[in-house]
Structure 1
């Protein structure tokens, strides 16, 4: 029996909510954190492949996919949710990969719980506390236009329009036309984003923000002491890690050509090989111990 023929699924009761998770494979734990347009299913092309060598855990963050609600007005922390999930699953430490908002979470988690992260892979990730400069915004008027349109669509509760703008902004990427992206990828992202934004607790999500990391990650990336691989997409919009990756000690940066914000969806075979080569190129746990 292969490592991918048996998948453990369940719900973890953590911090006043329920987190749905799936586990496949054996070996060193490897946690996958989805982006904030998506859910755990966005890792379909990675889950089984990585499970051939690692114990892979993917889950839906609270308010996404099949996980529980965000309760309006009650403080919560995505970092604490992940911490409690790993404890629930008896995982002391893991390789950690996150995309976009999930990548920002992975970075923040690494700063808050460095003993629980053996390697960090932020993919087209945000950086908490980062604000683009006026100069950057002036260089990317199309991005500004799309963000303004997205905010307007949300104000009008026009989810269909908001999803279309998000596809143009992130799935296509500034400078690319929708026809330049595989229709199947656009439809996968459309389905997941629509499902997330149409959840009955959407109003609570809009009015309840997670407790931020203090101080935020921007200005603290030099504190990251684990092997780090930063993955970016050539056609993605301005990404803070383009200019900040050098602040992470010994971080490796890879830009995947002809992809935007979701390189793992657009070129899964190339993406997977980059990740596997990185994880297999050194004894990462030993590296962490020697740099601690």
Structure 2
């Protein structure tokens, strides 16, 4: 078993919980904004055999501090990487974690060796069709403080997805996702910190995809919302040196639903860079 180091980093106005394991080139995992770093449990050790892996809970998630107001998520990540003396790394981000990774790679292009964007949309991306089913009902439940209903609906939106009902998703994964999700719901993380984030990238990533200067792998679950799939098409078309993989029978978090397949594909992508 590979040893994992667990720690906290003081940001001044809060703390980030993070873990590290393995040796070699740093590989940073950023979670989706309805789960936390435990979404990477199954891929953690397989990746740590090849890289110095780093995962963390964003503020308002998992073991990190609750949020107190609007945040610049990429700044939190930069501060943690500086604390760990990481001068170059591979970035792997899922959903909002991918959006943060892409923004950061545009802001500090010299620092990152590759980008893996999993079911992510670039900052500034605008929907052209109706939002996902249940999402307005979910916001209503959040605003009325109905935590159980809000959490269940978030899992329906982001784990079950557009084409599946709850009983069509692995029950163990679903139970763990609900456990992770209850923390940001209880702490009102989205409305407090992310509805109007601080210091957004200007101009946003959607306006400067051609400026990404590192190899980029874009991943999407075939069962995800059509707009996420459209964003994947837009990114692979405009980001230089980008490739795309659609993972069948998976929704918004394929690295969580199909970890073995995801690790195999990720290691293949990264081996080509080395």
**TM-score interval (norm. to shorter):** over 0.9
Partner of 1:45: 42
Shift >6 Å, 4+ stretches: 200-203
Cα root mean square deviation, aligned: 1.8
Report the TM-score, using the length of structure 1 for normalisation: 0.88
Partner of 1:113: 108
- Corresponding residue SS for 2:206: coil
1:237-248 correspondence to structure 2 within 5 Å? 237=225, 238-239=227-228, 240-248=231-239
Matched, 1:14 2:5: no
Deviation at 1:202, TM superposition (A): 7.2
Match of 2:223 among 232, 235, 251: 235
Mapped to 2, the partners of 1:50 and 1:201 lie a distance apart of: 29
Identify unmatched segments of 5+ residues in structure 1.
Answer: 138-142, 284-292
- Corresponding residue SS for 1:8: strand
Matched, 1:249 2:259: no
Deviation sequence 1:31-73 (CA, Å, 0-9, x none):
000110011111001111100010000011112111123223x
Report the TM-score, using the length of structure 2 for normalisation: 0.93
CA distance 1:271–1:63, shift in 2 (3 Å):
same
Deviation at 1:144, TM superposition (A): 4.5
Mapped to 2, the partners of 1:145 and 1:37 lie a distance apart of: 16
Structure with bigger gyration radius: 1
| Contact 1:120/1:227 (8 A) holds in 2 | yes
1:122-201 correspondence to structure 2 within 5 Å? 122-133=117-128, 136-137=129-130, 143-199=131-187
Mapped to 1, the partners of 2:126 and 2:245 lie a distance apart of: 23
Mapped to 2, the partners of 1:224 and 1:206 lie a distance apart of: 24
Partner of 1:54: 51
Match of 2:97 among 96, 102, 106: 102
- Corresponding residue SS for 1:32: strand
Mapped to 1, the partners of 2:190 and 2:77 lie a distance apart of: 21
